[in-house]
Amino acid sequence: MILEALEREGVEYIFGYPGGANLPIYQHLHEHPKLKHILVRHEQGAAHMADGYARACGKPAVVFATSGPGALNLVTGLCTAYMDSVPMIAITGQVASTQVGRDAFQESDVIGATSSVTKHSYLVTSIDDLPRVIHEAFHIATTGRPGPVLIDICKDVQQADAERVTPDRLEIPGYQLNGHVDLNRAGEAAQAIAGAERPVILAGHGVLLSRAEKELKEFAEKAGAPVGTTLLGIGAFPVNHPLSLHMTGFMGTGWNLKAVQNADVLMMVGMRVDDRVTARLADFAPKVKTFIHIDIDGSEMGKNVRPHIELVADARNALEAMTPQIGTLDAGRGQWLAQIDAWREEHPLKYTRSNDSHSNGRLQPQDVLIDMYRRARNEAIVVADVGQNQIWAALWWNYDQPGLFINSGGAGTMGFALPAAIGAKFARPDKAVWCVAGEGGFVMTAQELSVAVEHQLDVKIVLLNNFSLGMVRQFQDDFYGGVRSHSDLTHMPDFVKLSEAYGMPAIRVDKLEEVGPAMDTAEKTKGPFLIDFRIDPEANVYPIVPLGKSLNDFWEAPN
């Protein structure tokens, strides 16, 4: 019954792990060949795979886990998806309804443990509710602001027989999708931008989720307004466009931060405006006279920054409504755009190549990423982990297509990249998939290498091995008195041997001249491949705004 319902919803992949409380479902899985089940090695991996799958193709995948420890292992993965508004359906087995509350074997309050990291959740104790619940779950997960939905199903319900009813009607009184759309002030917003002297647009994940890249470009070009993106908004606006400000936030580019801090009208589209974007809130965009905020989730309005004009709507609908209302620009843009160009020249992204005369000779992460991106072009999907590797991967490429850069922005979950890259490859077998990770995050979910090997997935793993929890080490050096406390990673495995133990080829690279040939080998080898790039342990992420400081105070890479 559950599996039939999943087929009806058009599910292609299930990432799961069996156990006592979901065995009734597994018993019948083979009768449903349309549902492809991928056996993971840890439930967290299943959630990240479903997450990577959905981010890569836009469709939700399903996660299976058993009760108690199985379900609780999903929590981090659900949180990661929830923070970044990624659709997902998690189906967990629960002890029999007659056992609930008796501390039965492997019983845990899964609804209680996950309600803060799911868009919605259900405990199903009666078979009669099941068809409706599954249908609703998919609707809720994929509409509006997407997110994970969990269905906790008691074991006796999984075993119950029921008449096959197809729920055709959806009636969720508390979920009024379009109840809050408010585009009344679209004209006013467009004119505020048109009338601005120093307009700036910031675009977040919402632009990608609503597939509004084209509309954003049209709007920005017509309004002559420069556009920056958040970390999760990368791809929403082409980085090599003359109006691009690249990435914003406390590790954003210098010219972006200068523009934001000097803007007189700031329009924020499809984003939450969190602390990573604003740095010290009181000093965020201090010259702005008019904040415009566009988001599909009305609760984002004024949560962090109180807008003067709020549009509660899907980003695409909002931009479509605004563009025709721009009219003529009051102020010329020449001076403002020239100023931004000057800032771009003054504060470029920079690093010392490892063959430069004043280099320390160690391989730099940018040496590796630039080579990788040259191959990836704007076609491959790059999935980054969390830490320095993530920010380097975000900054050192001129993304000009949506959906090619995947990372855990809101939750910052180490260990995300490998399983998410696996999920992305299942979603887009036609695309090359590169996984960029630090060695710290990599070992958190490295057991999922088995999945990549078992299915011979063409996932190329670029390990930026700096022998430390690099981002933590950098923060300790700069903001915590230089005390390197537990950020050195000693006693790590030999990553080449580790890969080989999983049945996957790998090589180690220490020098710049070895980068190209190693990448060649990786590309030529069918199936998964790992390159252990041993990079400069002292390499840092720049620009960076010191903790607690304003965006004005960003530090740049030393010369």
Partner 1 sequence: MIESPHPPAAPATSPASREVTNRVRVLSVLVEDGPNTLSKISGLIRRKGFHVRSISVGPSREAGRSRMTLTVDAGHAEADQVRKQLERVVEVIEVEDVTSDDVHSRELVVAKVKSFQVAGLVERGAKVLDTGADGTTVEFAGEGKDVGDFVNELMRHGVVDVARSGPVVMRRTA
Ligand X SMILES: Cc1ncc(C[n+]2csc(CCOP(=O)(O)OP(=O)(O)O)c2C)c(N)n1
| Residue 471 a catalytic site member | yes
Backbone angles phi, psi at 92, to 5 degrees: -110, 145
Which one of residues 81, 296, 386, 530 is an interface residue with ligand X (CB under 6 A)?
Answer: 386
Dist CA 204 CA 304 (whole Å): 15
Partner whose footprint covers residue 389, from ligand X, partner 1, none (CB < 5 to 8 Å by kind):
ligand X
List the catalytic residue out of 43, 215, 300, 320. Answer: 43
Token pair of 243 as six digits: 């109006």
Binding positions for ligand X, 470-499, rule CB under 6 A? 470-472
Residue 111, contacted partner among partner 1, ligand X, none, CB below 5-8 A by kind: partner 1
Indicate the residue among 302 and 332 with the shorter CB distance to partner 1. Answer: 302
Contact between 282 and partner 1 by CB under 8 A: the answer reads: yes
Binders of ligand X: how many residues, by CB under 6 A? 18
Task: Please identify which of the residues 301, 444, 471, 519 carries the catalytic annotation.
Answer: 471
> Residue 389, interface with ligand X (CB under 6 A)?
yes
Compute the distance between CA of residue 88 and CA of residue 491 in angstroms, rounded to an integer.
Answer: 36
- Helix residue ranges per DSSP H, 172-242: 186-194, 205-209, 213-223
* C-alpha–C-alpha distance, residues 194 and 436, integer Å: 40
Determine, following the binding rule CB under 8 A, whether residue 303 of this chain makes contact with partner 1.
Answer: yes
Closest to 63 in 3D by CA, of 496, 473, 420:
420
Q: Using CB under 6 A, which of the segments 168-176, 255-263, 328-336, 412-420 binds ligand X?
A: 412-420
Distances in Å between the Cα of 302 and the Cα atoms of 227, 319, 524 are: 22, 20, 51
Residue 137 near which of ligand X, partner 1, none (CB within 5-8 Å, type-dependent): none
306 counts as binding partner 1 under rule CB under 8 A: yes
- Name which of 213, 222, 226 is nearest 194 in CA terms: 222
Residues 424-443 that bind ligand X (CB under 6 A): 438-441
Taking CB under 8 A as the binding criterion, the range among 14-22, 45-53, 87-95, 280-288 that sits at the site for partner 1 is: 280-288
Smaller CB distance to partner 1: residue 173 or 334? Answer: 173
Please give the span between the terminal C-alpha atoms of the chain, in angstroms, as a whole number. 64
Least Å from the CB of residue 539 to ligand X? 9
* Distances 70 to 19, 75, 268 between C-alpha atoms, Å: 8, 10, 39
Q: Please choose which of partner 1, ligand X, none residue 441 contacts, taking the beta carbon within 5 to 8 angstroms, the exact cut-off set by kind.
A: ligand X
What is the C-alpha to C-alpha distance for residues 102 and 96, in angstroms, rounded to an integer? 10
172 binds, among partner 1, ligand X, none (CB under 5 to 8 A by kind): partner 1
Residue 540 touching ligand X (CB under 6 A): no
Q: Is 105 an active-site residue? A: yes
Q: Is residue 533 flagged as an active site residue?
A: no
Q: Any contact of residue 455 with partner 1 (CB under 8 A)? A: no
**Residue 366 touches ligand X, criterion: CB under 6 A:** no
Only one residue has tokens 């705004």, namely 545
CB count in 10 Å sphere of residue 149: 27
Among candidate residues 155, 258, 425, 460, the one labeled active-site is 155
331: contact with partner 1 by CB under 8 A: no
In the complex, which residue's CB is closest to ligand X?
Answer: 438
- The long-range contacts involving 242-249, CB below 8 angstroms and separated by at least 24 positions, are 242/337, 243/337, 245/200, 245/340, 246/395, 247/394, 247/395, 248/202, 248/277, 249/276, 249/277, 249/279
In the complex, minimum distance from the CB of residue 71 to ligand X, in angstroms, rounded to a whole number? 19
Instruction: Select the binding partner of residue 120 from ligand X, partner 1, none (C-beta < 5 to 8 A, by kind).
Output: partner 1
Q: Does 402 bind ligand X (CB under 6 A)?
A: no
Residue 22 sits in the site that holds ligand X (CB under 6 A) = no
Q: Going along 28-166, which residue ranges are E strands?
A: 36-39, 62-65, 88-94, 120-124, 148-154
With a CB cutoff of 8 Å and minimum separation 6, the contacts of 311 are 182, 183, 185, 186, 189, 292, 293, 294, 295, 318
Plot region of 149 (φ>0 → left; ψ -120 to 50 → alpha; else → beta): beta
The Cα–Cα gap between 213 and 320 comes to: 11
The 171-190 contact track toward partner 1, x by CB under 8 A, reads: -xxxx----x----------
Q: How far is CA 337 from CA 205, 236, 243, 256, 388, in A?
A: 25, 20, 8, 12, 31
Which entry of ligand X, partner 1, none binds 108, CB below 5 to 8 A by partner kind? none
| Residue 19: CB minimum distance to ligand X, A | 24
Site residues (vs ligand X, CB under 6 A):
385-389, 412-414, 438-441, 464, 466, 469-472
Site residues (vs partner 1, CB under 8 A):
111-112, 115-116, 119-121, 123, 140, 172-175, 180, 264, 281-284, 286-289, 291, 297-299, 301-303, 305-308, 310
- Positions marked catalytic: 43, 105-106, 155, 471
